[in-house]
Amino acid sequence: MKMTFQKLVIGTSMAIGVSALATVPAQAGTLTAPTIGGTAASDYYVYDSDGKNTFKVENTSANVQKALSGNADSPTGNVELRASSEGRDFDFTKNTSLTGTIGGKTLTLSSLTSDDWFGDGKTTTTYGLDNLANNWFNKALDSSGITTSTFTSLTILGYSKQSLFDSFLKSGGFQRFSDPNISYVNQDDTSGLISIGLAGHYNAAPLITPFLGLTAQLSKLLPSSLQASEIVKYTYDGKTDYLYSFKASNSGLVEKGDGISHSGNYQVNIKGVAPAAVPEPSIILGLLGVAGVFATQRKFKKASI
């Protein structure tokens, strides 16, 4: 009877352990082992944070990992890809990428090139085409709260969405939104959802309005405050696409040099693959303990023979 009870206890312990082993979610966490690459692999900045300001630090692997360790509630810095996009003689055919592992899969985040905006190998940049440049530009205007009456006023004065697009293009507006600042990359353990923070201006009006070719007086017709993130290209689980947002939360940070940058956090998401379940250390120890009971019983049996 005693042996039957012991077997029952051990069997129950094994069943509980195996059940727990099957239901404990993996701890996916953040992007690990991030590396910088691309055709312009040295063109990036790393920004650290003191909880109030962001500031440039050395481009080391340790600083990259630290900058990406935050979340939406508490960003800890960011990595700016293709940092020279605002400079003169910018080569719009090259990119800078950030690659790491998350949930056991490889994720690559990249700056944009002219091919990304206008189509591979295409030189046509005409307004009205079905490409990222046109789709993003129209969404940016629509999300800014520009009213029909505003466009009516601009149309009377000889402006149109096409003329605004052409001005934005010729003045380097698309390059300006091609250098994403990656502030974090996290994954939900259960759903697999990957959240990526893009550090930007909480009020992006100063980044868009000057590129539209309007006079200072006409610029007053546009909203004084609007939100728009930079664009990031991603490759994950066999898919490549682009992410951006027109809604920011206050990051609680500003770049120390200009007092404006990195004030907004734009979160974008990828429907990631949920990581495989792994056992917790306590469960493993429990199973080892059960295995120890079997080993002890075997020794006792041998001793009693």
3 state SS for 73-140: CCCCCEEEECHHHHCCCCCCCCCCEEEEEECCEEEEEECCCHHHHHCCCCCCCCCCCCCHHHHHHHHH
Q: Give 156's pLDDT tier (boundaries 50, 70, 90).
A: confident
Judge whether residue 297 has pLDDT over 80: no
Mean pLDDT taken over the chain: 84
Domain identity same for 98 and 220: yes
* Domain, as residue range, for 219: 28-270
DSSP at 211? G
142 vs 234 pLDDT, higher one = 234
Domain identity same for 11 and 148: no
Residues 178-190 have pLDDT tens digits of: 999 999 999 999 9
DSSP at 203? S
Number of independent structural domains in the chain: 2
Q: For 196-221, what is the mean pLDDT? A: 90
273 vs 121 pLDDT, higher one = 273
Range of lowest pLDDT (51-60, 79-88, 113-122): 113-122
* 177 within some domain: yes
Measured between alpha carbons, how far is 129 from 223 in angstroms, rounded to an integer?
26
Domain identity same for 105 and 244: yes
**% of the chain at pLDDT higher than 70:** 79
Which of the listed ranges 29-43, 112-126, 205-219 does the model predict with the highest average pLDDT? Answer: 29-43
